[in-house]
């Protein structure tokens, strides 16, 4: 089946998920991001690559950090950015998602950055645009339900590559609420595609989805065993807003079993890096001594995130169907 993210020339037309993306395209995004990292250090933080293009931020779900970094990235590419307050818009008055999209496309949008609580919403939008011959509008998934968060996955890969250079010898541990984490899914797809030596997932049984082994990962329910000799630790927050029913005895109990402390960090390799997609819950999944310690690269992830989102938007907007 044709990958809906790619145009007929095999170029990236939409970024909907990392699952199914060829290694060549992932590497191209990371390489392109490298050229954008220094722009943030300049006095004039702009390049004209998307001058005159209109980027619509459609956040059907709240997110300050992701929306802000997409906005900064688009403005650094010289695009015009329109932020829509969806909660107060037609969607809350009963207008269908695709009617909203058609109306915005009629305003000469060039790109939709979409965050939605429903898995698959960005795919639905991209399919609709293709079916209605609106090929000039590109879709970037900024997180959909429990499905994927591809730009977070890509910025995580950029961060790992920056500090560790090569994926082929790396053991990476993803720790915590994997069941509700779209970041974990994007990270697993990206790490396996880029050839990481071993991907481990660590968490309580109640927060691990079934079928993880089929994704090419090793599953651990014991934190100490899972962290032994790893090169990279990606901590996930507990997504209480997505949990139905009690999946854990208490946050204190969770921290006791799965919180990343200095003692547990010592089980990893001495030069292991600690990552977190944010927002962090200190004292729940990560201890402040670790979050603020020398092995944490969490703020670097945020900085790199702008360059990676610039890369995605510039590549996607440059593809013509």
- DSSP letters spanning 78-132: T-EEEEE-GGGSGGGGT--HHHHHHHHHTTT--EEEEEESSTTHHHHHHHHHHHT
Closest CA to 304 of 282, 273, 281: 273
Quote the CA–CA distance of 5 and 126 in Å, as a whole number: 8
Q: In the 8-state DSSP scheme, what is residue 34? A: H
182 known ligand binder: yes
Question: Is 22 labelled as part of a ligand binding site?
Answer: no
Please provide the size of the chain in residues: 321
Cβ pair 150, 182 in contact under 8 A:
no
259 is in an annotated binding site: no
- 66 labelled binding-site residue: yes
Q: CA of 16: how far to CAs of 20, 144, 275, 312, in Å?
A: 10, 9, 23, 11
> Which token pair is 259?
């919180």
Q: Is 76 annotated as a binding residue?
A: no
135 CA to centre of own chain:
24
Give dist(CA 18, CA 237) in Å, integer: 21
Q: Classify strands 138-144 and 171-175 as parallel, antiparallel or unpaired.
A: unpaired
- CA-to-CA distance for 136 and 132, rounded, in angstroms? 11
φ/ψ of 175, rounded to 5, equals: -120, 130
Residues whose CB falls within 8 Å of the CB of residue 262, separated by 6 or more in sequence, listed in order: 287, 289, 290, 293
The answer on whether 278 is annotated among ligand-binding residues is yes
Is 149 annotated among the ligand-binding residues?
yes
Residue 93 marked ligand-binding: yes
Contact 157, 30 (CB under 8 A): yes
Q: Is 146 annotated as a binding residue?
A: no
Q: Let me know: does 15 contact 313? Beta carbons within 8 Å.
A: no
**279 appears as a binding residue in the annotation:** yes
Residues of the binding site? 65-66, 93, 115, 149, 152, 182, 237, 278-279
Residues of the binding site for carbamoyl phosphate? 65-66, 115, 149, 152, 278-279
Residues of the binding site for L-aspartate? 93, 182, 237
């Amino acid at each position: 089946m044709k990958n809906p993210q790619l145009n007929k020339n095999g170029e990236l037309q939409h970024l909907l998920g990392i699952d199914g993306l060829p290694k060549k395209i992932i590497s191209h995004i990371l390489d392109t991001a490298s050229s954008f990292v220094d722009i943030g250090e300049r006095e004039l933080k702009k390049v004209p690559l998307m001058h005159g293009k209109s980027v619509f931020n459609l956040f059907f779900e709240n997110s300050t950090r992701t929306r802000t970094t997409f906005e900064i990235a688009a403005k650094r590419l010289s695009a015009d950015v329109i932020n829509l307050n969806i909660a107060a818009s037609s969607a809350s008055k009963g207008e269908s998602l695709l009617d909203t999209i058609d109306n915005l496309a009629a305003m000469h949008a060039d790109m939709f950055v979409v965050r939605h609580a429903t898995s698959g919403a960005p795919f639905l939008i991209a399919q609709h645009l293709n079916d209605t011959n609106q090929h000039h509008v590109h879709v970037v998934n900024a997180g959909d339900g429990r499905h994927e968060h591809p730009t977070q996955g890509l910025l995580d890969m950029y961060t790992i590559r920056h500090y560790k250079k090569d994926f082929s010898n790396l053991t990476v541990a993803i720790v915590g609420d994997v069941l509700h984490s779209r970041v974990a899914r994007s990270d697993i797809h990206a790490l396996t595609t880029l050839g990481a030596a071993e991907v481990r997932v660590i968490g309580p049984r109640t927060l691990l989805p079934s079928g993880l082994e089929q994704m090419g990962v090793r599953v651990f329910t014991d934190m100490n065993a899972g962290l032994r000799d790893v090169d990279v630790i990606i901590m996930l927050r507990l997504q209480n807003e997505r949990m139905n029913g009690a999946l854990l005895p208490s946050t204190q109990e969770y921290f006791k079993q799965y919180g990343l402390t200095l003692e547990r960090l010592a089980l990893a390799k001495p030069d292991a890096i600690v990552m977190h997609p944010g927002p962090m819950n200190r004292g729940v999944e990560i201890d402040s001594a670790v979050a603020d310690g020398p092995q944490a690269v969490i703020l670097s992830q945020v900085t790199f995130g702008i360059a990676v989102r610039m890369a995605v938007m510039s590549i996607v907007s440059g593809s013509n169907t």
